[in-house]
Amino acid sequence: MILLDGKKIATDLKVEIKRTVDQLVKDKKKAPHLAAVLVGNDGASLTYVGSKVRSCGQVGFKSTLIRLEENISEKILLQKIYELNQDDSLDGYIVQLPLPKHIDEEKILLAIDPNKDVDGFHPANFGKMSLEMEAFIPATPFGIIELIDRYGIETSGKHCVVIGRSHIVGRPISILMSQKGKAGNATVTVAHSRTKNIKELTLNADIIISALGIPEFLTADMVKKDVVVIDVGITRVLEKGAPKGYIIKGDVAFDEVSKKASAITPVPGGVGPMTIAMLLKNTLLACQRKD
């Protein structure tokens, strides 16, 4: 069984990105600049954004954290988005989700300049990705493709079952896995909360990518021997005695499924680190495209 170590591959990617940034600086070109907009004080969001800012420092990027009050109006937030769109010093920026309930997330994401949309959530980028045109690919699916490719997992002609249909992970990864090119050419089935025969589908899958958000949903009796399992789930489960009062669990019952899998991602340390690494890669691409 191969453990698909996202932490290791993400570290390798950061080394490669830093090498490129160092060369840019040596050639008297500017280092990439990534900004993050954080609205409110959500604990998980603070953690994620903090990790992204630290990662920028590791690879030589300039980073800017823009913190806004939770009660900010949608109008003022849109004005801030407009300012970021016009800021030539910025190569890319992200708006950390979720946003407060009084703000329309769709309206905010649509307002982001697609050329600075390094999260890859804007419909212009999603559409271009679907048509196999140059685009910013959402960081988590981008990371999954990179992880599969670097471990040499065969995908061509394989049956891939994607569990989950979100616009952030499930839908884009289902498109990418079916496309021509690296880590593609698979026959893809998308399952979700309304699918009635998920076990029947997963038992016939060569590759399973689970992004459902239900802890330990995928169990050993749902998979065949030598399956490849990519676990995107990351859920905080309360547990007395744990240092933080909770533990992180994925969608996959790792201990039992790993005994049947030929390759599997751990949680944490699998897809999560890849997401941040690919956000950095998108920012580098944005900088290079501007030049």
Q: What is the CATH number of the domain that holds 63?
A: 3.40.50.10860
**Is there a domain that residue 19 lies in?**
no
**Is there a domain that residue 284 lies in?**
no
The alpha carbon dihedral of 52, 57, 60, 66 has a sign of positive
Q: What pLDDT is attached to residue 186?
A: 98
**Is there a domain that residue 264 lies in?**
yes
> For residue 285, what are the contacts with CB-CB under 8 A and spacing of at least 6?
136
Are residues 154 and 97 part of one domain? no
CA atoms within a 13 Å half-sphere pointing along the CA-CB vector of 107: 12
- d(CA 142, CA 96) in angstroms, rounded, equals 18
Are residues 59 and 166 part of one domain? no
**Is there a domain that residue 165 lies in?**
yes
Are residues 187 and 161 part of one domain? yes
**Is there a domain that residue 39 lies in?**
yes
Q: Going residue by residue through the chain, which has 291 residues, state the pLDDT in tens, using 9 for 90 and above.
A: 999 999 999 999 999 999 999 999 999 999 999 999 999 988 878 888 989 999 999 999 999 999 999 999 999 999 999 999 999 999 999 999 999 999 999 999 999 999 999 999 999 999 999 999 999 999 999 999 999 999 999 999 999 999 999 999 999 999 999 999 889 999 999 999 899 999 999 999 999 999 999 999 999 999 999 999 999 999 988 888 888 888 889 999 999 999 999 999 999 999 999 999 999 999 999 999 987
Question: Would you name the residues annotated as active-site residues?
Answer: 52, 96, 119
Judge whether 94 and 118 are in contact, CB under 8 Å: yes
**Is there a domain that residue 112 lies in?**
yes
If phi > 0 it is left, if psi is from -120 to 50 it is alpha, else beta; for residue 49 that is alpha
Q: What pLDDT is attached to residue 46?
A: 86
Are residues 229 and 172 part of one domain? yes
How many distinct structural domains can be found in the chain?
A: 2
Other CB atoms within 10 A of residue 285 CB:
18
Structural domain for 262, as ranges: 139-273
Q: What pLDDT is attached to residue 187?
A: 98
Q: What pLDDT is attached to residue 164?
A: 97
Rounded alpha-carbon distances, angstroms, from residue 90 to 93, 115, 119:
7, 11, 14
Q: Which of 97, 123, 149 is the last residue of a domain?
A: 123
Are residues 148 and 210 part of one domain? yes
**Is there a domain that residue 130 lies in?**
no
Are residues 230 and 151 part of one domain? yes
**Is there a domain that residue 13 lies in?**
no
Are residues 40 and 75 part of one domain? yes
- d(CA 201, CA 225) in angstroms, rounded, equals 14
CATH number, domain of 190, equals: 3.40.50.720
Are residues 56 and 149 part of one domain? no
